[in-house]
Amino acid sequence: MPTNMQEHKDKQYNDNLLYQLQSIFGFLDNTARQAYDPTDLVWSYKDYDGKPTNSGIQMDAQEFVGRFFDKVEESLKDTSQKYLIEDIFKGYSASQLICPSCGFNKTTIENWTTLQVEVDGMSNMHESLRKQLRGSIISEYNCQGCKKSVDATKRTLLTKTPNVIIVHLHACSSAWRRSPTLRSTQAMNSLNFWTSTPTASKRT
């Protein structure tokens, strides 16, 4: 692993995110302690200006994890582990617009590392996911199939879930926090939340 030792306030830091990540997991794997001092990681994880991250500023969690994965993927791209993030965290969904008149179906495949789930007015995650599956009506949609203005259905299907799903909750209400959470792909399977029509884009 490449090292990039840098000095900051009379201390030597290894300015390599992968090295710092390995240090964390290595430490936690071999210690009885339940905490790790992440100072070196924070220093090696740079902000948009290339400066060490200011840990006193709160970030949007979804933005953080997206950027963090981008950085890790960038670090891994020339190694045998270049698909690590994709293999563990990347899922695919299909956004569909369906015409009720002619059945025309416009499908767009998207990939994600965090699954966004609306929770306002929902009693649990199952309900929220089912709502996504049912979709909503888009009025006066100009159908490319029959060339008519129709009330089309817009819905999102999960075409491939990752081994580890990171769920991003929108506007988490107190009622929702009391509900059981969905933690695994196996539980997702039980929701019948799948489609066989769209296929996720193949790796190149």
CB-based contact 92:111 (threshold 8 Å): yes
Quote the CA–CA distance of 49 and 4 in Å, as a whole number.
19
β-strand 149-160 against 105-112: which pairing, if any?
Answer: unpaired
Q: Which is nearer to Zn ion, 28 or 146 (CB)?
A: 146
Amino acid identity at 1: M
State in angstroms the smallest separation of the CB of 95 from Zn ion.
17
Interaction with Zn ion in 124-143: which residues (CB under 5 A)? 143
Token pair recorded at residue 24:
């964390």
Does position 102 bind Zn ion by CB under 5 A?
yes
Closest CA to 98 of 41, 151, 165: 151
**Tokens 């959470």, residue?**
181
Residue selected from 59, 88, 146, 172 as contacting Zn ion according to rule CB under 5 A = 146
Residue selected from 41, 99, 117, 119 as contacting Zn ion according to rule CB under 5 A = 99
Does position 101 bind Zn ion by CB under 5 A?
yes
Q: Which is nearer to Zn ion, 104 or 176 (CB)?
A: 104
> What does the binding site for Zn ion look like in residue numbers (CB under 5 A)?
99, 101-102, 104, 143, 145-146
